[in-house]
A and B are shown apart, each in its own frame.
Chain A
Amino acid sequence: MNGGLDERALIGALSTGDLMPESAGAAIEEQRPPDASPSGSATRSPAAESVRGEGEFLEVSLGPHHPSTHGVFRVDVVLDGERVVRLKPVFGYLHRNHEKLGERGSYLAAMPYTDRLDYFCSLTNNWAYALAVEKLAGLEVPERAEYIRVIAAELTRVQNHACLIGFLLQEAGAMGTPIMYAFREREKVLDLFESLTGARMMCNYFRFGGCRCDLPPGWIEQCRRVVAELPRFLDEFENLLATNEILMARTQGVGVLSAALAVNAGVTGPNLRASGVNYDLRKADRYGIYDRFKFRVPLGAHGDVYDRYMIRVLEMRESVAILDQALAGIPEGPILNPRSRLRSFRPRAGEAYGRLEAPKGELGFYLISDGSGSPYRYRIRPPSFINLTVLEDLCVGRLLQDAIVILGGIDIVMGEVDR
């Protein structure tokens, strides 16, 4: 290092907490994470000059127009050579004030906007919103609709995880092969969505109390064909990458997230489970009919990027297991609660918070109703936004190339971060 600089003291003074990647070995039983100590003005002013006064650091803005930042996302990085000294994410480039748009129209009018939150997983976004409204209004969902919801959600999860692995590898340098194989499978799933809902990505399919329309004839067979091919694809995908030395060298031991920090920082989804915390909302909350399906929840042991990658591969396999069971057990019946109304839907005053396990983490909707046709407060709890809380902790002290890989492993979509 240059000039006898005490890296550790410097990092300790600059970061917003004293939770460092080196503390990753902390056991899961540790229950009292150290509080994030306020570091006063150091986090506000530009870092380099204020610390050393000599401008030895390089302050770089990574983004917002960048192929590896998962959308319009800027990261202000302060570098010492190639080592990250400080890292501040800056977002808001895709902020559309979705929460205010939700207050403007009716409850139904907000449903197409939820497609555009995490635009890879429109059906789980729809389900999360429908779940919150059903909780608010006390609507029950018929059984066939619940099965359709599970099938749609697990198909979404498979294509999301495959694409995420593709993106991670693309940013690590494998420019094209894994992502193309992932997108080839995604096309099959999107064809299924198109024949079911009419649109490939912006599905707008679930309604409050069920689904918009029933499965078209032949859809179950088409879905079974797609799901039957998935295990072979997953085997190939895993063979392609899982023991690849370059991937292992770049992701093992990189971006280690301790379980205690993950829980305290509100990290959810595969990132949390990669750190070893057994918390999957499909098992914890048992929303929908997930308690009828047998599936396992994979957990990671090391909390690094390689674990996050491997968790997603294993979760795809579990999703295929759920899909097999759901496709075998889907009953006949109505798909919409007869009490549900398309127009003039006025749930009574009150509030509700509904959440589910989206592919990126816990997606929640908090709705306050004042008895009128529009929500009074429409709040989205975005998993990608909150998972980014720990980005600085994971990247400080590592090289810039690791920061790119860590960002890829966290799995963010800017539509959800900024809303």
Chain B
Amino acid sequence: MSRGVRLVGLGIVKGLIETARNFIGSYRDPRRLVTVEYPEVRLPPVERARTFPMLVYDGADPEAGLRCVACKICEKECPPQCIYIEADRDARGRVLKRPRVFDVDCSVCMGCQICAEVCPFDAIKMNTEYELAVADRFGGLLLRKSQLVRSTEYHRTVHPQEAVEIDAQVAQARARAEAKARAGGGG
């Protein structure tokens, strides 16, 4: 590659030929026309895409079917400490295995997905919703438990492969527990 210039302007002309190739090619080759006209057209999310967390519940009732047992592992492992959990207590003050308060501050949440990775109960998973803009800067993105819960049907629409695997595991564990309870009760 010579560092001198033979005919002044030849290099620029070569560049313009490339530009023309891309311009005219964008009418013919779909790989050269890469613009997606959002918001009229939205790209479909991929299986593993993640934005912010959500709490998964089995069945129809978000309160009874919630998988979360308020073990607080996700709160501890969250890097920017954006999760705040308070466990529910019964009338006598004993700790119950469900959260009374589960706040995730999405203005702090990085979407790093470590909470979903460390949860031993597959209770917190990553959602893919990204159109979450609000007007209130200070509390608008603080999502409470009622805003975070999603059913397993929703989970299946968002992460099909992962949801099917986890639902199978959860159903298996439940079947085993029931069988043990029946055997223990009967014997």
- Cα A197 to Cα B111 in complex, Å, equals 12
Give the shortest distance, in Å, between A284 (CB) and chain B (any CB). Answer: 27
Give which listed residue, B11, B17, B49, B118, contacts A248 with CB less than 8 A: B11
Which of B10, B21, B22, B48 is in CB contact (< 8 Å) with A198?
B48
* Chain A contacts for B49, CB-based, 8 A: 194, 198-199
The digit string for B109-134, where 1 denotes a CB below 8 A from any CB of A, is 01111100110000000100000000
Task: Tell whether, in the assembled complex, residue A112 and residue B110 are in contact, meaning their CB atoms are under 8 Å apart.
Answer: yes
Beta-carbon contact of A241 and B47 below 8 Å = no
- Does residue A56 face the partner (Cβ distance < 8 Å to B)? no
**Cβ–Cβ contact A202 & B111, under 8 A:** yes
Q: Are A246 and B48 in contact (CB-based, < 8 A)?
A: no
Q: Which of A29-37, A101-109, A260-268, A375-383 contacts B (4 or more CB under 8 A)?
A: A101-109
Let me know if A343 and B79 touch, CB within 8 A.
Answer: no
A216 within 8 A of B: yes
Closest to A178 in B: B15
Separation of A240 and B12 alpha carbons in the complex (Å)? 8
Q: A108-B114, A202-B112, A342-B118 are in contact. Are A239 and B79 (CB under 8 A)?
A: no
B5 interface residue (CB < 8 Å to A): yes
Interface residues on B, range: 20 to 34
Q: Does B50 reach chain A (CB closer than 8 Å)? A: yes
Residues B5 and A245 in contact, CB atoms below 8 Å apart: yes
Q: Which residues of B contact A244 (CB under 8 A)?
A: 11-12, 14-15
Q: Inside 8 A of B10's CB, which chain A residues have their CB? A: 243, 245
B64-85 interface (Cβ within 8 A of A): 73, 77-79
Query: Are B117 and A212 in contact, CB atoms less than 8 angstroms apart?
Result: yes
Residues in B with CB closer than 8 Å to A202 are 110-112
- The count of residues in chain A whose C-beta lies closer than 8 Å to any C-beta of chain B is 42
Q: Give the secondary structure class of A's interface.
A: helix
Quick check: is A94 within 8 A (CB to CB) of the other chain? Answer: no
Question: B residues within 8 A CB of A325?
Answer: none
Cβ–Cβ contact A204 & B47, under 8 A: no
**B8, CB-defined interface residue at 8 Å:** yes
Beta-carbon contact of B8 and A245 below 8 Å: yes
Nearest B-chain residue to A197, judged by Cβ: B48
Set of chain B residues within 8 Å of A152, measured between Cβ atoms: none
Q: Does A278 contact B (CB under 8 A)?
A: no
Let me know if A108 and B34 touch, CB within 8 A: no
Q: Is the pair A239, B15 in contact by a Cβ cutoff of 8 Å?
A: yes
> What residues on A are CB-neighbors of B135 within 8 Å?
none
CB-based contact B15/A240 at 8 Å? yes
1/0 per residue, CB under 8 A from B, across A325-350: the answer is 00000000000000000110000000
| Residue ID in chain A nearest B7 by CB atoms | A245
A236 touching B21, Cβ below 8 Å = yes
State whether the Cβ of A353 lies closer than 8 Å to any Cβ in chain B.
no
B19 contacts partner chain A, Cβ-Cβ < 8 Å: yes
- List the A side residues contacting B11 at CB < 8 Å: 242-245, 247-248
Indicate whether A239 sits within 8 Å of B112 (C-beta atoms), given known contacts A106-B77, A194-B49: no
On whether the beta carbons of B79 and A198 are closer than 8 Å, the reply is no
Chain A: residues with CB nearer than 8 A to chain B? 105-106, 108-113, 115, 177, 181, 184, 187, 191, 194-199, 202, 204, 212-213, 216, 229, 236, 239-248, 252, 306, 310, 342-343
Given A194-B48, A239-B15, A248-B3, 19 new contacts (CB under 8 A): A108-B77, A109-B78, A109-B79, A112-B110, A195-B46, A195-B47, A197-B48, A202-B112, A204-B112, A204-B113, A213-B48, A240-B19, A241-B15, A242-B11, A243-B1, A247-B11, A248-B11, A310-B1, A343-B118
- A-B CB contact pairs (8 Å), 22 listed: A108-B114, A109-B79, A177-B19, A194-B46, A194-B48, A195-B46, A198-B49, A198-B50, A198-B113, A202-B110, A204-B113, A212-B117, A236-B21, A240-B14, A240-B18, A242-B1, A243-B1, A244-B15, A245-B9, A306-B3, A343-B73, A343-B77
